[in-house]
Amino acid sequence: MARVIVKTDAVVLRTMRMGETSKLVTLFSEKHGKLKVMAKGARKPKSKYGGCLEITNEIHVVCYLRDDRDLQTLSDAEVVRTHPQLLTDLTRLAFAGAASEMLDRLTIEHEPNERLYACLLGILRGLEEVSSQQLESLFWYFQLRVAASLGYRPELSACTNCGCELELEASWFSPALGGGVCQSCSREAAADGADAFSSGGTTIFGTTTRRVSGESLRFLALLQSMRTYTRQDLPPAPPRRGEIRGMLRSFLEYHAGATGRLRSLEFLDALGPYQPPDQEAAVNDED
Ligand SMILES: [Zn+2]
């Protein structure tokens, strides 16, 4: 039975209690992609792992991987970097948790993807640095990078049906077609019998499609065009947040296939509707 010792950097995506004293730890590793490892004795008071196996921690691990079983064994782990700022801010922590859960849901084990690993490090570090107005933009940036790293980059500038440039006023968005659909293609589809002009989601070209504003498409296209960002140039999230959340979520859920709904993104709705910065300031002034 083949058994290999693996040494790699990894991020802790989630942990679960196992038995009396152990933990089941889901890691996303640099060299081997997602790994589920059993950390024996990790919940004993004097465990050698200490506080190492906590969500969002960047760690270096030694594991025994065997090809005859799903569950692998953790042999050693040490902390490379922690993210203390995330642990003291509930909103930032919620974004970090959602990013972790997304990677867990969108990947399968033992499939290395160094771009995805870089995305994960990028968002954990970015969530500590950006302003609160930029948090959601950063998260959208991450979702776009994750989609591209998994091989399904959404088309946000040109119509996925005819290739024309998408109009500024409004367009349509179809996860199954891979992105935006222009007005005239949706009109033609409507003439073919689909009710393409109802206000909610509808079906054209046999796929679920929703009407979206040109602003939302342009904002996402801008984020997608940024190869990297700094705290200075990452734009704050615009007012139409619900629309962009819905676009990205439906796109990732569609392409995640059988794994279904991304519950990790539901916390965004609990953050409530967007308040423009001046209103937030007004609320703060009353304190
Ligand atoms: Zn078109």
16: CA distance to ligand 1 center in Å?
A: 47
How far apart are the C-alpha atoms of 80 and 48, rounded to whole Å?
Answer: 15
207 alpha carbon to ligand 1 midpoint, in Å?
15
Distance 187 CA to ligand 1 centre (A): 9
CATH superfamily of 3-83: Nucleic acid-binding proteins (2.40.50.140)
Report how far ligand 1's centroid is from the alpha carbon of 174 (Å): 12
For residue 180, how far is its CA from the centre of ligand 1 (angstroms)? 8
pLDDT tens figures, 190-235? 666 554 444 455 665 666 788 898 889 999 999 999 988 888 899 9
Structure tokens that stand for 119 in this block: 């995305």
Compute, in angstroms, the gap from residue 72 CA to the centroid of ligand 1: 49
Query: What distance in angstroms lies between residue 171's CA and the mean position of ligand 1's atoms?
Result: 9
What is the whole-number distance in angstroms between the Cα of residue 250 and the centre of ligand 1? 20
263 in Cβ contact with 249 (< 8 Å): no
pLDDT at res. 260: 61
pLDDT at residue 284, as a whole number: 38
Q: How far is the CA of 181 from the centre of ligand 1 (A)?
A: 5
Q: How far is the CA of 159 from the centre of ligand 1 (A)?
A: 5
Comma-separated ranges of CATH 1.20.1440 domains in the chain: 130-277
- Cβ count within 10 A of residue 74: 25
What integer pLDDT is reported at residue 190 of this predicted model? 66
In order along its 287 residues, the chain shows pLDDT tens digits of 578 899 999 999 999 999 999 999 999 999 999 999 999 999 998 999 988 999 999 999 999 988 766 678 999 999 999 999 998 998 999 999 999 999 998 999 989 999 999 999 999 999 999 999 999 999 999 999 999 999 999 999 999 989 999 877 778 899 988 999 888 888 777 666 554 444 455 665 666 788 898 889 999 999 999 988 888 899 999 887 889 998 998 898 888 764 567 777 777 776 655 444 443 333 333 33
Q: Which ranges in the chain are annotated with CATH 2.40.50.140? A: 3-83
| Token code pair at residue 67 | 């090809």
* 8 Å CB contact between 243 and 170: no
pLDDT for res 44: 93
Distance 235 CA to ligand 1 centre (A): 28
> What is the CA(191)–ligand 1 centre distance, in A?
14
d(CA 45, CA 121): 29
What is the reported pTM? 0.87
Q: Domain spanning 130-277: which CATH class is it, in words?
A: mainly alpha
Tell me, in angstroms, the distance from the centre of ligand 1 to residue 167's CA. 10
